[in-house]
A and B are shown apart, each in its own frame.
Chain A
């Protein structure tokens, strides 16, 4: 069974059709990078995968569960799908440790002690154990984003979605965050990453999706997509960003 299956996905905001028709499949342990011009619908595509956006048409299956079915317990599905945002969205009134433990404790994935032990392991992993008692306001952008990754991982998700995780960071912070993501990918996490970091997409992507105008224009292994793009629009986009 595929981790994610997208069938003829459509999404409109009022009269504006952002996603016209997209279909793709993500297998277990795959790292999919999504690239494309701004306004092409790539973030919206990602946000449809955990139904943060209401889906206008088509189907999205997460581990076989059709999340467009209104009877589906979406909160349950979301526990298996971690998400990392461009603007981090850490909870400013909670410490780093509380940010990471909040969901596991409230959703009864174990008691506070177990949640904190796990949180410290995750903070170790992202290199921020010593910041456990700090508040998000005391962290740099790169540190915030690494905490956000730890927070998402605390629910033991099977899939991780990244929505331009490095776009709001100072250049010298980008590397730390990408390193954490690379480590995750190597450990076999299934990942969908909307990114402007072509280097990351080329190095870590099992496949790259080029999205433009509400369609997946081209989908290929990075070597082919970057080295030998088939579509005019892909060529035009790559010539601008590479």
Chain B
């Protein structure tokens, strides 16, 4: 019990890092996903292609390889040097962005064509139609899948411990070896992740209920 009490403050520090990385990466990832989805649906073949190649590349490779590529691979070129936290945020954002873009694309396409026609017939241009009519409806529909991807991305942040980011998992590893109580430390680690993810899904279902489509 004492080992856990001693380890706990370190784990909380790690949790802060995890939430910080997750918070920034998920917002960037969502914006990236929105841009990629719109490119994917744009009336220009070349843009569709670029978006599709990006999504396929991310979906077709493991997260850890993407992380190594960005942290070790890009840094080895010598043009710039990303610290491990930045590299981690970038990787999580790019990875989530690819998945988000597919969710957003499907959401946009699920909205009835009549909605676009009604908006355009009133004189709204395509940007106004997307912004005021299509996206608000699409987002409500996407919310459960978006939550799901956010949870996956949160869990992916634990892999950043491999490049030495002092996140929750990394702090757990340090405490496990420092205290020689791996069983209890990793148990607590799991419980902390579980609680955070549980709170995240509660928040999501609250938002969902608030914005339910009538």
How does the 8 Å CB contact mask read for A94-123 relative to B, with 1 for contact and 0 for none? 000000001100110000000000000000
In contact, A75 and B124 (Cβ under 8 angstroms): yes
A93-B213 contact, Cβ under 8 Å, with A52-B120, A85-B114, A85-B118: yes
A83-B214 contact, Cβ under 8 Å, with A91-B115, A91-B133: no
* In the assembled complex, B123 has its CB within 8 A of some CB on chain A: yes
Determine the chain A residues whose CB is within 8 A of the CB of B137 once the complex forms. 91-93
In contact, B124 and A107 (Cβ under 8 angstroms): yes
Determine the chain B residues whose CB is within 8 A of the CB of A85 once the complex forms. 114, 117-118
Instruction: State A85–B121 Cα separation when bound (angstroms).
Output: 10
Determine the chain B residues whose CB is within 8 A of the CB of A82 once the complex forms. 121-122
A103-B117 contact, Cβ under 8 Å, with A92-B137, A135-B214: no
Q: Interface size of B by Cβ–Cβ distance < 8 Å?
A: 20
* In the assembled complex, B125 has its CB within 8 A of some CB on chain A: yes
In contact, A52 and B114 (Cβ under 8 angstroms): no
* In the assembled complex, B132 has its CB within 8 A of some CB on chain A: yes
In contact, A76 and B123 (Cβ under 8 angstroms): yes
* In the assembled complex, A177 has its CB within 8 A of some CB on chain B: no
Closest residue of chain B to A103 (Cβ to Cβ) is: B122
Determine the chain A residues whose CB is within 8 A of the CB of B213 once the complex forms. 92-93, 137
Of residues 138 through 168 on chain A, the ones whose CB sits less than 8 Å from some CB of chain B are 138, 148, 151-152, 155
Determine the chain A residues whose CB is within 8 A of the CB of B118 once the complex forms. 83, 85, 89-91, 148, 151
A-to-B contact residues, CB < 8 Å: 50, 52, 75-76, 78-79, 81-83, 85, 87, 89-93, 102-103, 106-107, 135-138, 148, 151-152, 155
Cβ contacts A to B, 26 pairs, < 8 Å: A52-B117, A75-B124, A78-B122, A79-B123, A82-B121, A82-B122, A85-B114, A87-B112, A89-B112, A89-B114, A90-B118, A91-B115, A91-B118, A91-B119, A92-B137, A92-B213, A92-B214, A93-B213, A93-B214, A102-B122, A103-B119, A103-B123, A103-B124, A137-B213, A151-B118, A152-B121
